[in-house]
Amino acid sequence: MKLLEGGRTGQIWQDGNTVVRPSGSWTPTVHRFLRHLRSRGFPGAPDPIELAGNQEVVSYVSGRVCEDLSDQFVGSERMLLSAARLLREFHSASQGFLEADRQIQTWMLPPQEPREIICHGDYAPYNVATADHEAVGIIDFDTAHPAPRLWDLAYSVYGWAPLSDPANPNVTFGLDEQLRRAEIFCTAYGATGEDRRQLPEMICRRLQALVDFMLASAAAGNETFVEDVIAGDARLYLSDIDYVRSYRDQLLKALC
């Protein structure tokens, strides 16, 4: 087996055409959701194969995954457009699961109202597989949960623009380019005028919810989140909330 790099170092392995990952109480629900996506004709998600003890086995989603937007391959406008379209296709395929699934549903993240669709919850470059300079697949559905479309779109725009202070480490683009990329993503996704008007505040709400969940999980002893908090991830998200609010008017002007 081959150890895969990325989140939860040392815990995710590729075994041929499958991936072996840690499972949680939410994993059976996620597996049913993945089957729903397949039934709706969405090819860009892993197929659930097996639950065994505290591990899950899913199919390997082929393609290159890279979170560094400074990489010309990942940060290109072509990739940005395809990522937005893939998110829209995923959202369309996710419709109907809440009504069709008759079993008790358990999610890692708390559902948000109104429960329009199942959101991915972490649609960022590091969870998107690419091929031929376009986004073709989505991985890591642990954070999937019911929520409005805009809840997922907000985090996706935040991650793909990205709407982070250019003074922070690993931030590639300045404000003007971030605003341009945010508008491109929204247009390619098909965001409505009302979506765009709500987006800045929704990004801040989404990031605050992430910080709250991260701190609560760390306080409960979850080692992954303890490490994230120690690494300063919560502080970075809070800083990005301030950044988005500081440039709210410019963002609205670019989007609307």
Query: How many other C-beta atoms are found inside a 10 Å radius of the C-beta of residue 124?
Result: 17
User: Which DSSP state fits 64?
Assistant: B
CA angle in degrees (0–180, nearest 5) for 148-68-165: 70
pLDDT beyond 90 at 37: yes
Q: In degrees rounded to 5, what are phi and psi of residue 127?
A: -115, 20
pLDDT tens, position by position, 39-79: 999 999 999 999 988 999 999 999 999 888 988 889 999 99
Tell me what pLDDT residue 2 has.
Answer: 74
Tell me what pLDDT residue 9 has.
Answer: 59
Tell me what pLDDT residue 10 has.
Answer: 59
Q: In degrees rounded to 5, what are phi and psi of residue 64?
A: -90, 130
212-248 residues labelled b (16+ CB within 10 A) or e (exposed)? eebeebbeeeeeebeebbeeebbebbebbbebbeebe
CA proximity to 59, closest of 43, 36, 40, 41: 43
Whether the model clears a pTM of 0.85, i.e. scores above it, the answer is yes
- In angstroms, rounded to a whole number, what is the distance separating the alpha carbons of residues 36 and 101? 9
- In angstroms, rounded to a whole number, what is the distance separating the alpha carbons of residues 48 and 56? 8
- Which are the contacts of 170, defined by CB distance < 8 A and separation ≥ 6? 68, 70
Rounded to an integer, the average pLDDT of 193-203 is 98
Q: Which residue has the higher pLDDT, 16 or 218?
A: 218
Our CA dihedral for 256, 158, 36, 64, rounded to 10 degrees, sits at 120
Mean pLDDT of all residues belonging to the chain:
94
pLDDT beyond 80 at 229: yes
pLDDT tens, position by position, 115-150: 999 999 999 999 999 998 999 999 999 999 999 999
8 A C-beta contact, residue 139 and residue 125: no
Tell me what pLDDT residue 115 has.
Answer: 97
